[in-house]
Each structure stands twice: as structure tokens, then as C-alpha cells.
Amino acid sequence: MRLPLRHWCTTTLLATAVLAACGGDDAPTQAEASDVVAGGPEAGATPFIARVKLTGTSVRNLASVEYAIAPKAGTVSKAVDVTYTAEAAARRGYLSTTDGSMTIPVFGLYANHANTVTLRLTYKDGSSGTLAVPVTTTAYTSTYGAPEILVKRAAGSTLGFDYFAIKSGLGTPVVVDTDGEVRWAGTGITSSVTSLYKDNGFVIGRQQSTQMSRLEFDNTMTTVTVNSPTYTAFHHNLDPGKTGVLAEFDGIVDGLASVESIAAEVTLAGAVTREWDFAKILGDYMRSQGDDPSTFIRPGVDWFHMNATVYDPRDDTLIASSRENFVIKVDYQTGEIRWILGDPTKHWYTFPSLRAKALTLEAGGLYPIGQHALSIRADGLLMLFNNGLASANQPAAAPVGENRTYSAVSAYAIDAVNRTAKESWRFDHGQTLLSDVCSSAYEAKGQSVLISYATTDRRTTARLIGIDAQRNVVFDFRYPSPVSCQTSWNAVPVPFDAMRFE
């Protein structure tokens, strides 16, 4: 268990009892004998990032460096708390072989603030000491700087996350704490709509191309190109895969445009390890059952509009969100259709072959309509943001399904054997908010949920809301979003309060 900073052993004004607690005996510990000092911080690419250089011959004895940033007075979010092992620092190039120094990237700073950063230095013999480093930062001006706080997080409130990353169409992802303070933004990216928080950094698909970048919190970046002759561009989301990253692609298949109907799993090196072409999967299946798919699958038309995928390890399957039609589960290896869950008043349900794969929703539940952001909750339920917008790209005179006046977060229990679904959990904010496109809902610890209503107030604002396990609103922030989905395509929790680089 990590002790709070005030309980860390220090190397100054040590009493005999403290020496014993820190491993002291007749011989001095490495912490007691240390000559490590911290230089004045250097500014990073944005006010949220700084570099602190540690020098001294004892740097070679360091096992890890942990830093914590003191919260502002009156705030509730936990302190930023990040640990680098010496191995991680060396692997990332933070250890200098020329002068034996170590440079620690400190991120999560408050902008325009006199930050107090405390470094805990742990040595190879288990002893430790602390260094205090003041870091004064400059101002940061952006859309995210001053949200309208509709509900302020109260002291003592229970929430399973303290920081979240907003996937932005205005630049890099932006990390915000649950008090509404921006705590990180980077540079070098014009849009991070297609992005994924993964392994203490972001993977970002460059829309309009097949380039994929890895952006670290120190603002360093590497870029690869996805190795496929078929794909032309990333779109919509990135999601965790079985072994890599799940992505949606536009492409050219047999000389025809494939619009938002191809999913693939790719490695961080850009290799494609698995592909699901839903035009082929659905077309082959429908023809095998005697249906003509020509009025359903239409090359060059956004007939499918895939916007999210999720890997289900329980049965080795992929679940995909087709905003125009339904949620569909297929076998990870073969692409065989397991089930379909969607509004039966839409065009897809008129085909007997697709109807045969449909789950029946128990009475009282909301079908997923125009949905986004699939995920598997800790309790096994399939959760999604249930936008409520009818289909927009169906053939002339084809049924487009229901239009709701509000959006919800829905979680479903699926009975694949009996081919039924039950909406077991719902949050609809009293049916007062409509976010008809984009948006997300993701679970954090303790059944808390972070919700991004991307297009509220007739697509002019975005709302970021955190709810606890009892579905109470813990915070509610409103941001201007004059261009649909640009301020917050969706948002995910990130563990700035307990991040470890190993």
C-alpha cells in the first residue's frame, strides 16, 4: 500500500526512530549517503509538463522516482501521483550515460500556478528520501479552460476516478480532473477523435490517412503507417483488442469504396493481425440464406456506419456498433454471426436472414438506437451510449426506426442460448439530455461511470458527467462545442493519481 506523502521517510532532520523505520543501522543507508539534488525545472511543450533533472553520483543507486503534485486548496480530486522505475527511465532515455543524471518528466501540473512537486527517491537498498521542487507554470487558454460547472464535485463524494481524457477534435487528448481543471494537453496532433488511452499514453489514428501515432505524456511521439493496401483512412474510435488495437477503416475493396464497414486489429507497429469486412460477412451470410443483400449493403454509401468495437474474451468474439442498424457480435476468428441486437422497426429487420439472428429485448428495455462506445462492464453487461437517433442513410422509403427525444446509457445482459437481451441497467438523466451523435459512457472502479454527452443543446455544447454506483451525479461540466463532436467525441478515465512506469 502506498503511504501518503506526509508519511514518507525523509533524509533531513532524521531522528533515531525514523532511521530505524527507514532501514537505518550503524552503516548509513543509500538515502542517508545520497548526494542527489534536483535542478530548477525546465518548461515542457505545454504548461502541464516540466522536466526535473536529478544529478549526483548517487543517481546510479536509484530504484525508482515517484512524484506527487499538491492539489489546489479547495479541490477534491486526488493528487497526481506518478512513479518511474529506474529501468523504465533508462528504457525511455531519461537516464544519461554521459553525466549519470536522470531527467524526470513531471506532467499533470496546474497551468498558471505555483505547483508544489514532491519527489520520493527510493534507492536499491530500500531506503528513501524526498525532495521538494517548486514548479511555476504559465497560463493556458483553450476551450477546456473554464467549463460551466453545473454540479461541483463535493468533498467526501465517492467516485472511482479522479481524472479523465477527452478525445478532442481540436488537438491532442485533454486530461481534466474531477474539479474541472485541465491537467494535461500536448502538441503535434490536430485531432484526437480516433484515439485510445493505452499503457500510460495515447494511440492516435490520423483521420484522412492510415498513419498511427503513439503520444506520450512527456509529449514525445512516434508514428507508423498501417500496413494494408486496402485501407485509406482511420475513422471513429480506437478500442482495446485481443492483443493489439481495434480500429475502423475506410478502404477500397474490389475497386469500390468501402465506407465505415471494415474493422481490424492492428499492432502498434502497424501490422494488421485480423480483419472483419462487414460488407462481406453480412453479404455472404444473407446470400447463403436466400436473401438479396443489394438494397442493404451498398458500396460507396455509408450504409453501416461503424463507430466502435469491443473484444469479448469470454467467448472469443468481436462486438461492433453499426450506428445505422444494430449491434452485432461475430466470431473473432471466422466472422460467423452470433447475434444481432437492434431496433426491429429499421430496414435491416425486413430481411429474414438478419431477423433470424436478432435477439428479443425483454419488455421495458430500450433497444440500442444510433449507439456509440461499446464496452464490457466488470459485471459482464454490455454497456453503450444509447443516442436515440434514427437511421440517416437508408434507401428511399425504407424504414429508419425510432427517434427518441433523450439519450441514455444502457447496459444489457445477453442470453445467447435463448436469444434474448435484457436492459439490466440504465441512466437517462431524467430524460432531460439529448446527445444524438458521438458520445460515450465508460465504467471506472466501484461501478462509477464517466459519460460524455458530445452534442447537447442542439449540438452546441458538450457535457462531461461523472456518476457514482448509485447513479448520483457527482460532477457535471458544460463546454462550448459549436462544431458537432469536436470538443468531446468521447472521454475515458485515466489514472493520473496512481500511474506507474515499469
pLDDT, averaged across the chain: 94
Task: Looking at the structure, tell me whether residues 261 and 380 fall in a common domain.
Answer: yes
306 has pLDDT over 70: yes
Report d(CA 253, CA 362) in Å as an integer. Answer: 39
**Same domain? 353 vs 272:** yes
Domain contains 141? no
**Mean pLDDT across 315-328:** 98
What is the band of 25 on the pLDDT scale with cuts at 50, 70, 90?
Answer: low
- Please write the tens of the pLDDT for every residue from 129-174: 999 999 999 999 999 999 999 999 999 999 999 999 999 999 999 9
State which of 106, 136, 166 marks the end of a domain. Answer: 136
Reported as a single tens digit per residue, the pLDDT across 255-278 is 999 999 999 999 999 999 999 999
- For residue 142, tell me if it sits in a domain: no
Q: Does 342 or 15 have the greater pLDDT score?
A: 342
Same domain, 70 and 204: no
Domain boundary among 136, 162, 197: 136
CATH number for the domain harbouring residue 273: 2.120.10.30
Domain count, the chain: 2
Domain-embedded: residue 40: yes
Q: What is the DSSP string of 289-325?
A: TT--GGGT--TTS-SS-EEEEEEETTTTEEEEEETTT
pTM for this predicted structure? 0.93
* Confidence grade of residue 97 (pLDDT, cut at 50, 70, 90): confident
Predicted pLDDT at 361: 98
The predicted-structure confidence for 75-92, as pLDDT tens digits, reads as follows: 999 999 999 999 999 999
How far CA 446 is from CA of 379, 405, 443, in Å, comes to 11, 30, 8
Does residue 224 share a domain with residue 84? no
**Residue 31, domain CATH:** 2.60.40.10
CB 442 within 8 A of CB 375: yes
Mean pLDDT for the stretch of residues 304-314: 98
pLDDT given at position 351: 98
- Asked, for residue 377, whether it belongs to a domain, the answer is yes
Q: What is the per-residue pLDDT for 9?
A: 39
Question: Is the residue at 181 inside a domain?
Answer: yes
CA dihedral 473, 175, 380, 315 (to 10 degrees): 160
214-234 pLDDT, tens per residue?
A: 999 999 999 999 999 999 999
Instruction: Tell me if 327 is assigned to some domain.
Output: yes
What CA–CA distance (Å, rounded) separates 340 from 348?
A: 10
Domain assignment present for residue 88? The answer is: yes
The pLDDT of 277-292, averaged and rounded, is: 98
Residue 107 pLDDT > 60: yes
In this structure, the answer to whether residues 127 and 176 fall within a common structural domain is: no
Q: Based on the fold, state whether residues 160 and 120 are members of the same structural domain.
A: no
Question: Cell triple for residue 20?
Answer: 530505524
Is 304 found in the same domain as 264? Answer: yes
Q: What's the pLDDT at 67?
A: 98
Same domain? For 175 and 293 the reply is: yes
Dump pLDDT digits (tens) for 289-301. 999 999 999 999 9
Residue percentage of the chain with pLDDT more than 90 = 93
pLDDT computed for residue 271 by the predictor: 98
pLDDT bracket for residue 420 (50, 70, 90): very high
Same domain, 379 and 439: yes
The domain in which residue 84 lies consists of 5-136
At 98 the pLDDT is: 85
Confidence of residue 4 (pLDDT cuts 50, 70, 90): very low
Does a structural domain hold residue 234?
Answer: yes
Q: For cell 487558454, what's the residue?
A: 141
- Quick one: 478 and 388 in the same domain? yes
Domain boundary among 136, 163, 191: 136
Query: Which pLDDT score is estimated for 350?
Result: 98
Residue 138 CB burial class (10 angstroms; 0-12, 13-18, ≥19):
exposed
Which residue in the block uniquely carries the three cell numbers 437517462?
Answer: 428
123 and 176, same domain (yes or no): no
174 and 309 within one domain? yes
The answer to whether the beta carbons of residues 338 and 326 sit under 8 Å apart is no
